[in-house]
Amino acid sequence: MKTRFAFVVALMITVIIGQPVFGQTKALDLISGQIKTATADLKRAEKKFDSEKARKIYELKKESRNQEIKGLRSNNPEVIDAAAISIKTLNTQVDSVSKMESNADVQLAAKRLYELQQEKASVFESELAAAKANAKPATKTATTPDSAEPTPVVAKIDPYDRKIPTRLTKLDRNQRSRSHATRVDEVLISRVENNANMVMTPAGNSGGYKVIFDNMYSSPVNFIARSISSSVKVAVMVDPGVMCTKYMLPGKYMVEIYINGVMSEQPKLMTIDGQECDYKGNLCFNYAFAPKFR
């Protein structure tokens, strides 16, 4: 009777200990599925944006060509002047559309993906801590009459034995992968910071792309750019009326703008992909700015 009672108590303790990890694992799997869906949504939004952007540029260039033909075929000075003005306006619109990197749908999808990744990181850390707390050592020790020193005996584990739980093994593997990715990010960031004063071109090897952070507001502004796909984070404090240059790794970032410790607006998507742009006469690969008025 006592033996049966002890067995029931041990079983209840095992179930109680296992419940948090199981629940958190289900939460992690759920968030992973949501991240997969959000990633697909972002790709669809970007594809739709690129298609609409290309169509708009095509229509503007087509109209510009029509105006050019209209001016060439006319002998009326007024028609020629009007065509020249239209061509100039259309070319300006082409340049403006070409510099567009996203729209509201893309930024919303990117923000959703970013929030889910932050949530997954939080759940992952809590699940890993719970798994470590419940983990048991995989080795046994045995003593012999001839020696007082314990002799380690490594338990032989059949990797194909379905009775052995594999959840902890997967968590450990994910931890190593995450640690490796973090270390790679740190090395790459170090390379960028060590070459911060070098001129970067798409074919260069300085380790980063030139990005401008412009503060047009009357108080200091803290720009924080967080990578969507990794743990890279770049923080820049810029004084009023000052443009600051940073060299960053290529990728997609959500840029947050803080004034007096408070986020002034919703994070915006910033893509660094090697495409040059002109910001106030300065060549760079992207930029972020705090407006003069809030």
252-289 residue pLDDT tens: 999 999 998 888 888 899 999 888 889 999 999 999 99
Cβ(215)–Cβ(255) below 8 Å: no
Is 141 a residue whose pLDDT tops 60?
no
**pLDDT score at 106:** 87
What the block records as the tokens of 103 is: 């729209």
* Neighbour tally for 288: CB within 10 Å: 22
User: Considering the domain boundaries, does residue 223 fall inside one?
Assistant: yes
117 in the same domain as 18: yes
**Helices assigned H by DSSP within the chain:** 2-73, 77-98, 104-134, 167-194
127 in the same domain as 9: yes
Q: Tell me how far apart the alpha carbons of residues 174 and 1 are, in angstroms, rounded to a whole number.
A: 44
User: Considering the domain boundaries, does residue 101 fall inside one?
Assistant: yes
Q: Domain end: 112, 131, 150, which one?
A: 131
Q: Where are the beta strands (DSSP E) in 156-275?
A: 209-215, 221-227, 233-238, 242-248, 251-259, 262-263, 268-272
Structural domain count of the chain: 2
**pLDDT score at 286:** 94
pLDDT band with cut points at 50, 70 and 90 for residue 244: very high
118 in the same domain as 30: yes
Q: Tell me how far apart the alpha carbons of residues 128 and 119 are, in angstroms, rounded to a whole number.
A: 14
What the block records as the tokens of 252 is: 């997609």
pLDDT tens per residue across span 51-74 = 898 988 999 999 988 988 888 888
pLDDT tens per residue across span 202-228 = 434 456 889 999 999 999 999 999 998
**pLDDT score at 206:** 52
Q: Which range scores top for mean pLDDT: 19-28, 118-127, 194-203?
A: 118-127
| Cα torsion through 189, 192, 197, 202, rounded to 10 | -150
**pLDDT score at 196:** 42
113 in the same domain as 7: yes
Secondary element (H or E) of residue 294 = none
Is 17 a residue whose pLDDT tops 50?
no
| 184-205 average pLDDT score | 48
15 in the same domain as 103: yes
| 237-244 average pLDDT score | 94
User: Considering the domain boundaries, does residue 181 fall inside one?
Assistant: no
For 176-202, b where at least 16 C-beta lie within 10 A, e where not — what string? eeeeeeeeebeebbeebeebeeeebee
**pLDDT score at 264:** 86
Which of 48-62, 127-141, 143-157 has the least mean pLDDT? Answer: 143-157
**Token match 């300006």: residue?**
92
User: Considering the domain boundaries, does residue 202 fall inside one?
Assistant: no
Q: Domain end: 81, 98, 131, which one?
A: 131
**pLDDT score at 73:** 84
Burial class (CB in 10 A: 0-12, 13-18, 19+), 107: buried
User: Considering the domain boundaries, does residue 82 fall inside one?
Assistant: yes
Q: What is the mean pLDDT of the chain?
A: 76
**pLDDT score at 164:** 45
Q: Tell me how far apart the alpha carbons of residues 130 and 120 are, in angstroms, rounded to a whole number.
A: 15
**pLDDT score at 187:** 52
Residues 6+ apart with CB under 8 A from 99: 277
**pLDDT score at 163:** 47
Higher-pLDDT residue of 166, 186: 186
Q: Tell me how far apart the alpha carbons of residues 78 and 83 are, in angstroms, rounded to a whole number.
A: 9
Instruction: Provide, rounded to the nearest whole percent, the portion of the chain with pLDDT above 90.
Output: 20
221 lies in which domain range? 209-290
pLDDT tens per residue across span 98-129 = 888 888 888 888 888 888 888 888 877 776 77
**pLDDT score at 189:** 54
Q: Could you tell me the CATH number of the domain that includes residue 264?
A: 2.60.40
